[in-house]
Structures are given as C-alpha cells and as structure tokens.
Amino acid sequence: MSVTEADIVGLIIVLEAELWPALVATDSDCGQHVPLPHGRMLGGTSAMNGMAFIANSRANVDTWGALGNEGWNWATFSPYYRKISLTLSSEEKIKELGLEYVDPKLNGIDGPLQALGLGYPMSSDPFSGDGLGGYTNAAAIDPARSFSANAYYLPAKGHPNLHVVSEALGDTEFTVKALREVIISVGIFNSPKVLELSGIGSLDTLEKFNTPVVVDNPNVGENLQDHPLPGVIFEVQVFINTKDNLMRNYSSTLLPLSDFSKPDTGSEDLATILAATVPDSSSADFAAFIRSILQNPREATGGYFTYPARRNSKGSSFPENYITICSFLLYPLSRGICHVSSADPAKPPIVDPRYLSHPADLEMSARHTRFIDAIASSQPLACMLKPGGKRSPGVPDDLRTASLDEVKDYVKSAGRSTYHATSTCAMLPREEGGVVDSRLRVWGTKGLRVVDASVIPIAPKANPQTMVYALAERAVDLIKEDLAGK
C-alpha cells in the first residue's frame, strides 16, 4: 500500500493485505477470539485508524511521574500536543458544523450541540487535560488522511542520511550496524517480539526457543492494556442513512472513497464521532466503588461513542440500517500478555488480552454498559431509532432494569478490542515491571531505545494515537539531549 493510497480515508477495509497477517488473540477470561489488526505499511497503524484525535488526561500523565518516571507529567508533556497538531478551520465553518472545538477563542460553549439531556455538559476543549463531558471531534478537515508517513516521512524523504527499506522480511540476512543508537518502533505487538528474538526478555520464554539470553527481563511482553469495548446495536428508522451500505457492498466501496482526492466532495467529508466521558459520580455506589480505585473525582472511568453502522457486520446480508453505541473502560485494571510464538520472525506473537480478568473491570464495564440504554432513550437520538427495532443478539431488553449479573454475562460475550492496546514494553522502574527507563532506554542495554505505544505505562483515556505522536516528539528531544551529553 502506498502513502497516497493511505491518504484515502477508509480504504483499508478493502486492502487487508496491508495488515500484519492473522493476529487473532485468544482471550482466556472471556473465551473469545479477538482480531487485532495492525498496519503493515509506512506509517503503521496511523495509516488505517479511525482518525479520532483525542488527547490524554492530566491525571493520567501526572501518574506516569508518580510511578517513578522522572520528568514525565502534564506540564512537561502537554506542550508536545501543541507541537504535533495544526487546526485548519475558519470560525465560520466551526459555527456551521456546531463544533465545540479545541480552542475556545475560536468558538465558545454556546453552540447548538449541547449534551445536556442526561446532565453532562459539552466540553469546549478535549485537549485541556480535563476531558469530562461530551464533544464532537472533527476527524478530517483536509479530505486526505494526515498520518505519520505523509506528515513526517514524505517531507524528509530526500534527506541524504535517510534510507527506508520496505518489504524487508525475507530469507536473506543482512547486518546493519549503528554508530550511536538503535530505536525500536514496531508497535505494541512487534516491539516485545523483536526484543525477545534479540535475547531480551523472560529467561523461560527465551530458553523455550533456544534464544541466547542477553538481558533476563521478565517484564517484556507483559502489562498489555486495552479498552474492552462492549456495544449495543440499534435498528434505526428507515429514513436514517448509515454506513451499513458500505459494509454490505464491498464491490462499490471504492467509488465513494475515491472522492476523497477531491476537495469538498464525497459522503465521508467529515467523520464526526460524538465522544463522551462520564465522571465517577454517576451514582453514589458507583462513585464509591470507582474512587477506591482511581482516587480522583475529576477523572472519568468510562467513555462512550456512536458508530453509524452495525458493528461486526462485514459480509453480512442484513437489509436494515443500524447504529452502535459502545462503552469502554478508560483505565482497565486487567493486564494481558504478548510473547513470541516461534524463533521465526515471520510468525505472529501469542497474545492474550485477558479482558475483564480483574473483577473491578467486569463490574465497571457492566455498569457503564447499563447506561447505553439511557443514552438511546434520550433525545434527539431516541427519535432516530425504530420502535421495537432489532438489537444486539443476547442483550437484555432494557439494560437499565436488567440484573447486574445479566449485564455482566452480556459484556463478557459482546466485548471486543478498541484496538487501543499499549504498554507491553512499559516505561517503569525495572523492579516495578519496566522494560524501558524514563528516557526510553531498554533496561540492561546501551544504545537501545523503544519509542512507540508499547512504552506507555498506563493506558490513556482514549485512543493512543495522539499520545504516540507526542511521545515521539518528546523522544526526539530526549535523544538529542543525551547525544549532546546533557
């Protein structure tokens, strides 16, 4: 897949050869097979993600420092969010779309989109570090996708000291020597695999595949975190258009997607995802339960978003149109694993996400999923749903009145990945589960760093893409400081 092909939003659904092959995790706690797609092209998964651009929370980043990572907190990290993004939109366009946008100076908090029906206000700035409430995030202004390959690689492509080798996994071995450093940046599933294949990992794992031990660190490939994502599908009124037609008719998918090369055309000009985060004060018993874990009344525990189609509908022949309302845990306590499955680097790793293995996760996920029916019953959404319409198989008729055990059973059967996995090479003190130190250097080595989502010590409150960009920018400064001898 070329960089220009990746510019076309949504094209990845018909170009599955551009994914790493067949990584399907078996969840030992929920008993499900969980597909975990990740990008195999320049730009990696940034070339195929959902393009929601959401910052982490202040409390989450401050916790990084509290866990033993000196110099990591909201004050030192948040400037990199400003460095990586550029808002390109006029005040008139913002008002036309009714967006509560990042910069309050561009648009106030009095726009027409107010998520007040359930008592939660709109947030004017999801990048403030305190993202409680709901907001509409403009995921695309330019009709082409902006991602790491065209934003970072293409402008530097002609530099004489930059050499990119693609399709490098083959039968012929080459030796490449580094004068200063090697930086591993192959993602949440492949970075721990590369370390283990290089002799850095658990002694038991390395000996199983006759890999010479360089550094015995059992933390490699542990600590995997992801947002489990149960959702409920709702059949909509016949006059409501959704994206189910695209999912049903793959042969015609490329035609509307090709319109992205033209300005102001195409049905997908603006991907509008209404995201919401709900504070832990939703009810007295829930608040007490969550505060005992998070200890922060201003930190959200769950998030919600709508998807304008039936989830998991690929290849289905159903005639109806749907929307899906999903809930997800922002800070799961369950931890999974990702380890090599073979000494052959072409083989995918073994992944067990262990969703909901911590009892608190199952409790919180069930309670947040209950709230989905409250969202669906609020206006103006309720008038779009077909009365008595179809819902997800196995979901209780009314989640609000169903027993918590019934909801837990549904959550365990319906949960999937948000594709937000992080933390398999966590930045932590080694004795606390770390693989890299606070300067992203691999413990027990010299001249080796990891810079990608695998080093994030605690799952961010939403998708990790913005955090990866900001983390990479900070890594540049750390590397330059170390090379300068500071």
Tens digit of each residue's pLDDT (9 = 90 or more) over 50-82: 666 677 778 788 888 888 999 999 999 988 887
Q: How many CA atoms lie within 13 A of 133 on its CB side?
A: 23
> 463 or 218: which carries more pLDDT confidence?
218
Residue 124 covered by a domain: no
pLDDT at residue number 317 = 61
Residue 188 covered by a domain: no
- Tokens at 169, concatenated: 């996994």
Given a cut of 60, whether residue 102 has pLDDT beyond it is no
> 358 or 33: which carries more pLDDT confidence?
358
Given a cut of 60, whether residue 9 has pLDDT beyond it is no
Given a cut of 60, whether residue 288 has pLDDT beyond it is no
- The CA-atom distances, in angstroms, between 197 and each of 38, 357, 424, 426, 434 are 20, 28, 15, 18, 18
Question: Is 260 in contact with 268 (CB distance < 8 Å)?
Answer: yes
Average confidence (pLDDT) over 276-300: 48
Residue 434 covered by a domain: no
Count of other CB atoms within 10 angstroms of residue 234: 24
Residue 279 covered by a domain: yes
Per the prediction, the chain carries an average pLDDT of 76
Identify the burial level of 52 via C-beta atoms within 10 angstroms of its C-beta, where 0-12 means exposed, 13-18 middle and 19 or more buried: middle
State percent of the chain over pLDDT 70: 66
The pLDDT tens digits for 362-404 are 998 999 999 999 989 988 888 999 999 999 888 998 898 999 9
How many domains in the chain?
A: 1
> 141 or 365: which carries more pLDDT confidence?
365
- The CA-atom distances, in angstroms, between 50 and each of 149, 331, 332, 482 are 16, 20, 21, 35
The rounded distance, in Å, linking the Cα atoms of 340 and 424 is 12
Residue 393 covered by a domain: yes
Question: Is 376 in contact with 118 (CB distance < 8 Å)?
Answer: no
158-172, 244-258, 312-326, range with the lowest pLDDT: 244-258
pLDDT at residue number 114 = 33
The rounded distance, in Å, linking the Cα atoms of 286 and 364 is 8
pLDDT at residue number 270 = 32
The pLDDT tens digits for 315-365 are 456 788 899 998 888 888 889 999 999 999 888 899 988 988 888 889 989
Residue 405 covered by a domain: yes
Tell whether residue 464 is among the known ligand binding residues. yes
Given a cut of 50, whether residue 272 has pLDDT beyond it is no
The pLDDT tens digits for 212-222 are 999 999 999 99
pLDDT at residue number 280 = 40
Given a cut of 50, whether residue 171 has pLDDT beyond it is yes
The values of phi and psi at residue 106, to 5°, are -80, -30
12-26, 83-97, 210-224, range with the lowest pLDDT: 12-26
Measured at the CA of 109, the angle between CA 106 and CA 111, to 5 degrees, comes to: 90
pLDDT at residue number 101 = 44
Beta bridge partners of residue 425, listed in sequence order: none
The rounded distance, in Å, linking the Cα atoms of 8 and 257 is 7
Residue range(s) defining the domain that contains residue 284: 228-329+356-414
Tell whether residue 306 is among the known ligand binding residues. no
Given a cut of 50, whether residue 412 has pLDDT beyond it is yes
Tell whether residue 401 is among the known ligand binding residues. no
Among candidate residues 80, 79, 75, the one with its CA nearest the CA of residue 64? 75
Residue 397 covered by a domain: yes
Residue 102 covered by a domain: no
Question: Is 217 in contact with 376 (CB distance < 8 Å)?
Answer: no
Count of other CB atoms within 10 angstroms of residue 133: 20
Global pTM value: 0.78
Query: For residue 301, what is the domain's CATH number?
Result: 3.30.560.10
4-18, 121-135, 207-221, 412-426, range with the lowest pLDDT: 4-18
pLDDT at residue number 381 = 87
Q: pLDDT-derived band of residue 196, with 50, 70 and 90 as boundaries? A: very high
Average confidence (pLDDT) over 238-242: 85
The reply to whether omega before 104 is within 30° of 0 (cis) is no
pLDDT at residue number 295 = 59
